[in-house]
Amino acid sequence: MAGKIYLVGSGPGTLGLLSQRAAAVIAGADTVLYDQLPGEEILGSLPAAAEQIDCGKFGGDHIKEQAEIERLLIERARAGRNVVRLKGGDPFMFGRGGEELEAVREAGIEVEVVPGISSALAVPASVGIPLTHRRYTSQVTIVTGHENPAKEGSAINWAGLAPGPGTIVVLMGVKNLPRIAEVLIAHGRDPATPVAVIERGLRRDQRVTVGRLDAIAGLAAERHVKPPAVIVIGGVVELYDPASPALTPPEGTTNLL
């Protein structure tokens, strides 16, 4: 009989925010195909007896292409193994989990999706930035920063997004941060809009860079900001207070601001 495939979201990268269901599924896995975003703490907890296959992507360098990942999922499941596809955050938030779900369904293999806490929500919250606040906005838009905002045929309506009052959360946007800021300002976003760039959220070496929209790219360059990072754009960033004695990380995390 064929095994079962689990598309698992590991959350933002700390065991304290890994769901009980995700932990149970991982513990019973025969094969784990993992990305690098789950982080060392979670990757270090993988069962030693399980086959572990690195599918990470580093700066555009793919250890395994998407088609090969899907082939491995199906191949291992048809061999009767319980297979975990372990992804950072939530498997359907810019993680190509939807494509993997389609491939597995087409192959006729049983599949379960285990949701995870997206870094788009968890990382800003962990440093005291609420994405919505009655004094600022009741709207949040989450976009990928992996595509160039100036390219023709962008899937993101930057012109419609820029002038609104809502919070914008950008994932995978460090490389394109200068162009993102430039395009938002060109389409009407106030240059003085506060921005926070949160590197390696909920990890020991987490770091936060805060500045105006028209200056954040320069600050990020000066501080050598590197991915992974979550970028928050909007008035709610004014609520960030690194000195707040009330702000403590969730149980199970080890980071210090």
Tell whether the model's pLDDT for residue 172 goes beyond 50. yes
Q: Give 249's DSSP letter.
A: P
Domain ranges of the chain: 5-117, 120-239
Structure tokens at 43: 């990757």
pTM of the model: 0.88
Q: Left (φ > 0), alpha (ψ -120 to 50) or beta: where does 195 sit?
A: beta
Comparing CA positions, the residue from 139, 12, 37 lying closest to residue 96 is 37
190 CB contacts (<8 Å, ≥6 apart)? 213
Q: Which amino acid is at 250?
A: P
Segment among 139-143, 145-149, 233-237 with least mean pLDDT: 145-149
Residues acting as catalytic residues: 35, 57, 172
Count of Cβ atoms closer than 10 Å to residue 120 Cβ: 24
189 contacts 110 by C-beta, under 8 angstroms: no
Structure tokens at 116: 């995870």
For 42, phi then psi, to 5°, come to -75, -40
Residue range 120-239 in CATH 3.40.50.1970: no
Structure confidence by residue, pLDDT tens digits, 32-66: 999 988 878 899 999 999 999 999 865 555 578 99
CATH class of the domain defined by 5-117 = alpha beta
Tell whether the model's pLDDT for residue 77 goes beyond 70. yes
Long-range contacts of 38-45, Cβ-Cβ distance < 8 Å, separation of 24 or more: 38/10, 38/13, 38/86, 38/87, 38/88, 39/10, 39/13, 39/14, 39/88, 39/203, 41/13, 41/14, 41/15, 41/203, 41/254, 42/10, 42/13, 42/14, 42/15, 42/18, 42/86, 45/15
Give the pLDDT mean for 221-250: 88
Alpha carbons 136 and 232: distance in angstroms, whole number: 13
